[in-house]
Amino acid sequence: MATKEILLLGSGYVAGPCVDYLLRRPENKLVIASFRLSRAQELASKYPEAVKEGRVRAAQVDVQDDASLDNLVARCDLVISLVPYIYHAAVIKSAIRYKKNVTTTSYVSPAMMELDAAAKEAGIVVMNEIGLDPGVDHIYALKVIREVQASGGKINSFLSYCGGLPAPEASNNPLGYKFSWSSRGVLLALRNSAKFLENGKVVEVAGPELMKSVKPISIYPAFAVVGYANRDSSFYGDRYNMPEATTVLRGSLRYSVFPSFVQALVDLGFLDETPQPYLFEDQPSLSWAAVLAKMVGLPDAFSDSDLRSAILVKAKLNDVSPADKDAFFRGLQWLGLLSTEIPASKRAGNLLDTLCATLETKMAYQPGERDMVLLQHRFEITHADGSQETRTSTLLEYGEPHGHSAMARTVGVPCGIAVQLILDGELSTPGILAPMDEAINAPLYRELVKEGIVCHEETISFHKAT
């Protein structure tokens, strides 16, 4: 079988499971490329036999430099772009120039969609949205939707929630959360407004109110999780071709302790990116308590009781129960925000990034700790005979202690599957694609099942037509 050379741009934590999957096929050779060569070499070193056989090598690339990018793209059969989404368009342009197929795990952006005609003219497949969310969620949602529609039924309501969480035993902090990627990205996402369809009406939630909109989500009795809408899901009735649906919402899952604590941090001003001279590295040492005092308007000399009182006012917690107040202050204490000195190296010039530096230290996964992926679609269905059904489709995955995380596996493996299907000619439609079509989804679904990445369906209520 002819050798296939695959260029992998990016060497982050989701890349490993993708590489594992692709190296199963002896004809596949991978070039792992990163802006920092050492990062690419670190990932390549995990495959010593493949390196020895010449099937894996590391390379340096600057995706913002056309010559650097073209040099690698020209020599490969397919490009996997796991770099930040803002660079995908540049990667696709290079792939168009050299007529190379592309796979990404990111949502199709307007800048990417503008390249659809050029990709079709070049005859290349640009497969996107093939990770977990987006990716696995699309495939299993559309599986149910198309089955129901094929039998003459209708989807009246579609609710979908997905969360990357620490496994229960690792959720041992005030937020019930740990960062496997940028804490900045996690926190900034909480400033996004949300839009969804509810009972036929478009509902919008402003970013500052997002954590106040959470609702308990019943998936498994053992998990106290809540959900909130994620960005704009109001158009998914059209995207999934279920125009009859009057409620359509895609959202995120967190443990129930997360929203109130984060909302208090937001109200205190911790998501502020405004430069603060006292947080510059070259300034005299200071404690988090002193920073909080500045944030709540106290003078340089302050008492502990004054600080706590001022925090309650600004965080809008005066009216909550004494138990909730105590829990909040225990959380601040655990994070070190009531006393700990901030090392100069952790001061990032503004409140958001300085907080993130602290969170990433305190709330990182420790060796042997597991993460968890939890995804559930909930469908309200009316069948052709008038009977009604509530059906769920649920995925629960745990990471491997000292191995791949659940998030890495459920993003990296679907990406690898898509790559192999393109190389094998099973996915061959040119253009900017996402898993929205049965011709694309059927082989993806088949291979996901083989890998054990399965959403389990259950009917939780059924009412016969009268």
Looking at residue 437, the DSSP 8-state letter turns out to be S
Which of 70, 116, 133, 385 is flagged as catalytic?
A: 133
Which residues neighbour 65 within 8 Å (Cβ) at sequence distance 6 or greater? Answer: none
Q: Which of 355, 378, 261, 383 has its CA nearest to residue 311? A: 261
- Token look-up 């305190």 returns 362
* Residue from 337, 12, 42 nearest 182 by CA: 12
3 state DSSP class of 67: helix
DSSP secondary structure letter of residue 192 = S
Q: What is the maximum alpha-carbon separation in the chain?
A: 76
Rounded Cα gap, residues 335 and 8, in angstroms: 37
Triad 362, 363, 366: Cα angle to 5°: 95
The identity of residue 351, as a single letter, is L
Q: In this structure, which amino acid lies at residue 111?
A: A
With 0-12 CB in 10 A as exposed, 13-18 as middle and 19+ as buried, what is 38? exposed
- H or E segment at 446? helix 438-450
- Give the whole-angstrom CA distance, residue 209 versus residue 214: 10
Annotated catalytic residue 238: no
Determine how β-strand 371-382 pairs with β-strand 388-398. antiparallel
Q: What string of DSSP letters covers 392-449?
A: EEEEEEEPPTTS--HHHHHHHHHHHHHHHHHHTTSS---EEE-S-SHHHHHHHHHHHH
Say how many C-beta atoms besides its own lie within 10 A of residue 311's C-beta: 24
SS3 399: coil
Between CA 8 and CA 141 the distance in angstroms is 29
End-to-end CA distance of the chain: 60
Beta bridge partners of 394: 376, 456
List all residues 6 or more positions away from 412 whose beta carbon is below 8 Å from its beta carbon.
14, 15, 16, 17, 18, 19, 20, 21, 131, 404
- Alpha helix segments (H runs only) across 99-212: 110-113, 116-122, 136-150, 183-189
| Residues carrying an active site annotation | 133
